Amino acid sequence: VGRPDRIPHNAPHVVEEDVAEVVRVLRSGWIAPGPETAALERAVAGHFGGGTAVCASSGTTALFLALVGLDVPPGAWVAVPTYSCVALLDAVRLAGARPLVVDVDADTLTMCPRSLATAAHTLGAPAAALVVHTFGHTAPLPELAEVAGQLVEDCCHSLGTRGPYGLHGTFGRAAVLSLYATKPVTGGMGGAVWSAHDDVVARIRAFVNRTGTGSRWLPIDVRLGDLPAALARSQLGRLPATIRRRAEIAARYLAVCPPELRPAGLPDPTRLVYRFSLRCPDRRYRDAALAYFRRGGVSADPLPQEELLLHHALGLNPARFPNAVRAVGRTLSLPVHPELSDAAVERVCELLAGLPAGVFSPEPR
């Protein structure tokens, strides 16, 4: 994340209220999965306006549970965007399915419907798609659903965003969130899966509680304990404030950002700004800008590089994923988390305003 003397690219935002909640649970004598986990499940369901949530040990296991809930057949294709976390591949493989890797939209970095249609035409229709609302952008859900049928909305970057198809997570058959330390609502680690469909929830519950008979999935304990659940529930209560603060920081950056570097889709007050990612003209500029921010005391982050793209992990031809390959060479993410002080935001603004247009030469300020 960065040297301690640098402004970190990301940091958990833990306040006294959170500490008090965790201490209360510690003192209660019960820290296994129990009442706090159940309360977080009710709070997540409340966030989505109904349905049922099931907590999980991570976002990865929550994605796996979603595939269990959708009853994805063994060996079936499950579509995943190549520009995303390796957790998606892990979940598909854990579920005994096969990843159908798809390129992303050049601007939003969300799964591209045209690329999905091409992959489905070549290899066969997927049983489901794991759709990431990358950095808080809304994925084109209706177009993806036309090809993929069942969607799992991965809201790890976008919890609380109200997109054109409603609150993120409520369009697909199931939604998933991560409570990892870098996420806007965190328990340190953990995740949850949510669905409004009783059959989906019943399959998930049967797996988690090991009440299913003849389950084709290997049994594994994926529950969340009461300590991370208590922290996450306290954080979830502050999600509207978190979204507002991130939007406020993004607005300050936008006011000084050279226009040609501006991130796509901002400003957008309805969106959780998970990343403020500059779109540099090319890799040389991006790498020079990264070094410039670091020298200036700010940990910027180039985000996943080519070797972390999912098609690369599977040894697939990069020519089929041109938008993702181009994006990794030009993206630079700036800190936008609520743990930033006003002075830290000001420092990022100063550096941002000093970025040269076009080429990075000879030496930045």
Q: Which of 157, 238, 286, 347 binds ligand PLP (CB under 6 A)?
A: 157
User: Would you give the binding string for ligand PLP spanning residues 47-66, x where CB under 6 A is met?
Assistant: -----------xxx------
Among candidate residues 246, 192, 224, the one with its CA nearest the CA of residue 64: 192
Q: How far is the CB of 315 from ligand PLP (least distance, A)?
A: 22
Q: How far is the CB of 104 from ligand PLP (least distance, A)?
A: 12
HSE-CB at 20 with a 13 A cutoff on CA atoms is 4
Sign, CA torsion 205/207/208/211: positive
Q: How far apart are the first and last CA of the chain?
A: 23
CA-to-CA distance for 74 and 217, rounded, in angstroms? 10
Q: How far is the CB of 86 from ligand PLP (least distance, A)?
A: 8
Q: Which of 10, 37, 82, 84 binds ligand PLP (CB under 6 A)?
A: 84
Q: Residues binding ligand PLP: what is the number (CB under 6 A)?
A: 13
The helix-helix angle for 59-69 and 198-208 (nearest 10°) equals 120
Among candidate residues 121, 166, 171, the one with its CA nearest the CA of residue 147: 121
Q: How far is the CB of 60 from ligand PLP (least distance, A)?
A: 3
CA-to-CA distance for 346 and 83, rounded, in angstroms? 31
- 89 part of the interface to ligand PLP, by CB under 6 A: no
Q: How far is the CB of 157 from ligand PLP (least distance, A)?
A: 6
- 156 part of the interface to ligand PLP, by CB under 6 A: yes
CB-wise, 179 or 196, nearer to ligand PLP? 179
User: Would you give the binding string for ligand PLP spanning residues 275-314, x where CB under 6 A is met?
Assistant: ----------------------------------------
Do 17 and 309 contact (CB within 8 A), yes or no?
no
| Chain residues 167-196 in contact with ligand PLP, contact rule CB under 6 A | 178, 180, 191
CA-to-CA distance for 99 and 80, rounded, in angstroms? 6
CA-to-CA distance for 41 and 25, rounded, in angstroms? 16
| Residues contacting 204, CB < 8 A, separation 6+ | 54, 65, 66, 68, 69, 193, 195
Q: How far is the CB of 132 from ligand PLP (least distance, A)?
A: 5
CB-wise, 65 or 243, nearer to ligand PLP? 65
CB-wise, 22 or 176, nearer to ligand PLP? 176
Q: How far is the CB of 158 from ligand PLP (least distance, A)?
A: 9
User: Would you give the binding string for ligand PLP spanning residues 135-154, x where CB under 6 A is met?
Assistant: -------------------x
Which residue sits closest to ligand PLP, CB atoms considered? Answer: 59
Q: How far is the CB of 133 from ligand PLP (least distance, A)?
A: 8
- 132 part of the interface to ligand PLP, by CB under 6 A: yes
Tally of CB atoms within 10 A around 103: 24
- Site residues, ligand PLP (CB under 6 A): 58-60, 84-85, 87, 132, 154, 156-157, 178, 180, 191
